[in-house]
Amino acid sequence: MFMSIGSQAPDFILPATDGQHYNFEQLSGEAATVVLFWCNHCPYVQPNQARVINMQAEYGPRGVRIAAICSNNAEAYPQDSFEAMQQRAAEMGYNFPYLHDQDQDVARAFGAQRTPEAFLFDGKGILRYHGRIDDNHQDESKALSHDLRSAIEAVLAGRSPDPAETGALGCSIKWK
């Protein structure tokens, strides 16, 4: 079951690859917060890494904060282990927290099903957009619909994103 648009963000505390632990409030941007369900091995996530790094660099000064959460079963997918997450964050220069949801409770609380899957909250922690990053995971320059960027712009302008929901494109979360 997905969170409904208008729902309050669930709280959690998770370890991150930077050695810190974060809850939702600590991750929150003044204007908006993007929570992405993410992992290392997914061929839909991999081409999105640079565009998310760029989004954080672009929108960070405007009060938007991005965080990524890996909820995959690392026993079945060792490339999604916490150690592999730390290595990926360092190699790619992630400028956003990358958190580990080992027991998968946070993914369940959000109703997340895919990687990548975006949840955009306004400055009050209310879900305003849920879905995909854009309509072309392989090549951002060929995307016709930049859904997450459009949703962020709408929230920053005080408008409701339209559409507020799109289908996430990606791999299924690997459940235990």
6 lies in some domain: no
Output the CA torsion sign for 156, 162, 117, 42. Answer: negative
Contact 71, 77 (CB under 8 A): no
CATH number for the domain that contains residue 94: 3.40.30.10
Residue 41 inside a domain? The answer is yes
| pLDDT recorded at residue 172 | 97
pLDDT by residue (tens digit) across 6-46? 999 999 999 999 999 999 999 999 999 999 999 999 999 99
Per-residue pLDDT, 1: 57
Does 7 reside within a domain? no
> Distance (Å, rounded) from C-alpha 7 to C-alpha 10?
9
Tell me, yes or no, whether 34 lies in a domain. yes
CA distance 143 to 51: 12
User: Is 139 inside a domain boundary?
Assistant: yes
Q: What does the pLDDT average to over 50-72?
A: 98
pTM of the model: 0.97
Residue 6: C-alpha distances to residues 2, 22, 41, 54, 100 (Å):
12, 23, 31, 27, 26
